[in-house]
Structure 1
Amino acid sequence: MLNLERLRTLDALARHGSVSKAAAGLHVTTSAVSQQMTKLEREVGQQLLAKNGRGVRLTDAGHLLAEHAGRILSQVELAQSDLEAQRGRAVGELRIAGFPTAARGLFPAALAALRADHPGLRVRSQEMEPEVGAAAVVRGDLDLAVVLDWYNKPLPVPEGLAKASLLDDPADVVVPADHPLAARAEIDLEELAEDDWICWPTGAYCSDWLLYTLRAKDIEPRVCHYAEEHHTQLAFVAAGLGVCITPRLGRGSLPEGVRVLPVRQGVRRHVYAVWRADADRRPSIRAAVAALQAAGEAVA
């Protein structure tokens, strides 16, 4: 009989395309992936992997079995969901991810509430960018992801996902304390056309949004510094190196030497949870969404 965990490893290899990425998706070592595949080849009596340069590729037999593995694992997941729904209790393991400020601003309260209310539920969480998290839910690497839309740039959500709103998160401009506009009660983005900017890394969803928004206002931003963490961006602002936009969720305390200015037109992110629609009946999903919504209400 085929081993389910080995089929899961083959499925991850087929979806991710490499041993290292499959290992990361499964949260195991690359050697563990190789060992599972060796055992699976022994079980089926056929070669499933072949060398491809420095990596590997699936053989024809590997592709054939991977297709079956995907269907088998989908049925197993559906069976687990039905059993959990029939039992009516949030138990087992739940894998979730959220973008960094959601992980900082929502997860501590939500996960503490889940642990207190559902002691039979084991939650594993990690930080993950919105588009990556949504794709991981579709692949089955995650059960739930917290993602976001900017008010003027929706995140493309793959088909087959259900979603629930958590909160609307305003964002403000942050400028050095000695900036000419620092004393203002609010500001228009157009007034910062000549400023240096501190921005998220190139290619990140929030970075694309900022460039899209400023260019829509005929501003070609002069981005001088890139930093993934908001606290790092704020440290650059405090040093007088430019301005940035910082959402309020997970912001925490501000460093000395900066001023926060609301944007007159209003800049906000819509934060929501996504999960596979075929897992909608799982009590653990419902419990997690409820806990995240409660945390979102407290923050808002």
Structure 2
Amino acid sequence: MDINKLGALRELAVRKTMAAVAEALHVSPSAVSQQISMLEQELSIDLIERRGRGVELTIAGRKLVETANRIFEELESARADMAELKKVVAGDIRVAAFPSVAAALMPKAIKRLHASYPMLEVLFEEMEPEEGMNALRSWQTDIAIIDDLNVPAGLLDPGIEITPLIEDVFDVMMSPDHRLAGLEQVTWADLEHELWVMDTASSTYTRMLTDACQRSGYSPKIMARCKGYEVTSALIREGCAIAIVPGLRSRFDMQGVRVCRLVPEIRRRISIAYRRGEKKSPALQVFIRCLKEHAQAFQ
């Protein structure tokens, strides 16, 4: 069996559509379909079945993916063993992280690693925690920065290991002339009649903030839904609305805004996730050590 065909099947188990797999593997959907068909012909058994616009794995397909997972884990473990024997920190390490932690920690970490290990290249891609975990499971990234709000510990795969990185608390951001701007801390009840900007990059955050408002007896009046901080901060500066933002994010680009502590607080734990078989990789070890040192200094 060809390892690339097994890889395509593993991707399909996570991403559910040929188009999504093709995008992840940087090939055409027809090429993915052909790989799966060739694998089925080789084994003389159906591995997938169509379900609307997507596909589902058959019992045989799921069984083969379980075997493929073990094969890929052994390959990664072997690579890590060889790298450890050489004691050379070199090659590429792929990192997925969501915007707030990426902006706070990644630039300085990458700069330091480039200076200390010139043969190591960090390849970064911005991904929300759930997306990063999917990329980690399907071998599209080597490290995923996640949080416990989007990826609860109970949902982690047995083959994934996590290392705690930093804790983050959410703040209220508003314009400097807002009626609440003079307060050191703001309660959820204080925000009942405000207009809100909601970051929609993560549906988990939207649901979490809405639930917190409802526990205080109201639903937030959302006047804007944005996928990035740039528009959110512009609306806040002009006094159009307030927003609840991660503390990591609120420490950047503070000109023209006021940040207050939110009580009761919402706290999240941010962690580094990686495949268990790669734990001994020198590149992985130096990256984790460097990122943790920067996180401690930032905290």
For the residues of structure 2 that align with 1:262 and 1:50, how far apart are their CA atoms? 51
Query: Which position in structure 2 is the counterpart of 1:81?
Result: 80
Tell whether the 8 Å contact from 2:201 to 2:227 is kept in structure 1 after alignment.
no
The Cα offsets for residues 205-241 of structure 1, whole Å up to 9 and x where unpaired, read as 2222212322233332222211121232121122322
For the residues of structure 2 that align with 1:37 and 1:261, how far apart are their CA atoms? 54
Query: Which position in structure 1 is the counterpart of 2:253?
Result: 253
Query: Which position in structure 2 is the counterpart of 1:155?
Result: 152
Query: Which position in structure 2 is the counterpart of 1:294?
Result: 293
Query: Which position in structure 2 is the counterpart of 1:271?
Result: 270
- What is the 5 A alignment of 1:131-142? 131-142=130-141
Tell whether the 8 Å contact from 1:202 to 1:208 is kept in structure 2 after alignment.
no
Please, what TM-score do these two structures have when normalized by structure 2?
A: 0.82
- What is the 5 A alignment of 1:81-160? 81-149=80-148, 155-156=152-153, 157-160=155-158
Cα offset, 1:130, TM superposition:
1.5
With 238-247 and 136-145 compared, the bigger mean Cα shift is at 136-145
Whichever residue aligns with residue 253 of structure 1, its letter is: D
Tell whether the 8 Å contact from 2:147 to 2:269 is kept in structure 1 after alignment.
yes
Cα offset, 1:133, TM superposition:
1.9
Whichever residue aligns with residue 133 of structure 2, its letter is: A
The Cα offsets for residues 131-178 of structure 1, whole Å up to 9 and x where unpaired, read as 33234323433321111246xx98344142322222233332112333
Please, what TM-score do these two structures have when normalized by structure 1?
A: 0.81
Structure 1: where are the runs of 5+ without partners? none
For the residues of structure 2 that align with 1:26 and 1:121, how far apart are their CA atoms? 23
Whichever residue aligns with residue 221 of structure 1, its letter is: P
Q: Secondary structure at the match of 2:285?
A: helix
Number of matched pairs:
295
Query: Which position in structure 1 is the counterpart of 2:220?
Result: 221
For the residues of structure 1 that align with 2:188 and 2:26, how far apart are their CA atoms? 42
For the residues of structure 2 that align with 1:120 and 1:270, how far apart are their CA atoms? 32
The Cα offsets for residues 231-259 of structure 1, whole Å up to 9 and x where unpaired, read as 32121122322211122324421353x32
The Cα offsets for residues 86-118 of structure 1, whole Å up to 9 and x where unpaired, read as 333333332221111122222111122222323
With 98-107 and 31-40 compared, the bigger mean Cα shift is at 31-40
Query: Which position in structure 2 is the counterpart of 1:188?
Result: 187
Cα offset, 1:292, TM superposition:
1.2
Tell whether the 8 Å contact from 1:84 to 1:282 is kept in structure 2 after alignment.
yes
Cα offset, 1:38, TM superposition:
7.0
Tell whether the 8 Å contact from 2:169 to 2:246 is kept in structure 1 after alignment.
yes
For the residues of structure 1 that align with 2:289 and 2:54, how far apart are their CA atoms? 43
Q: Secondary structure at the match of 1:224?
A: strand
With 205-214 and 67-76 compared, the bigger mean Cα shift is at 67-76
Q: Secondary structure at the match of 1:177?
A: coil
Q: 1:119 to 1:226 in 2, by over 3 A?
A: same
Q: Secondary structure at the match of 2:254?
A: coil
For the residues of structure 2 that align with 1:149 and 1:97, how far apart are their CA atoms? 16
For the residues of structure 2 that align with 1:293 and 1:193, how far apart are their CA atoms? 38
Tell whether the 8 Å contact from 1:130 to 1:205 is kept in structure 2 after alignment.
no
With 221-230 and 49-58 compared, the bigger mean Cα shift is at 49-58
Tell whether the 8 Å contact from 2:130 to 2:151 is kept in structure 1 after alignment.
no
With 281-290 and 211-220 compared, the bigger mean Cα shift is at 211-220
With 180-189 and 202-211 compared, the bigger mean Cα shift is at 202-211
Q: What root-mean-square deviation, in Å, do the aligned CA atoms of Structure 1 and Structure 2 show?
A: 3.2
Tell whether the 8 Å contact from 1:198 to 1:242 is kept in structure 2 after alignment.
yes
Query: Which position in structure 2 is the counterpart of 1:211?
Result: 210
Identical aligned residues as a percent: 28
Q: 1:60 to 1:198 in 2, by over 3 A?
A: closer
Cα offset, 1:39, TM superposition:
6.8
For the residues of structure 1 that align with 2:39 and 2:119, how far apart are their CA atoms? 32
Whichever residue aligns with residue 215 of structure 2, its letter is: A
Q: 1:253 to 1:31 in 2, by over 3 A?
A: same
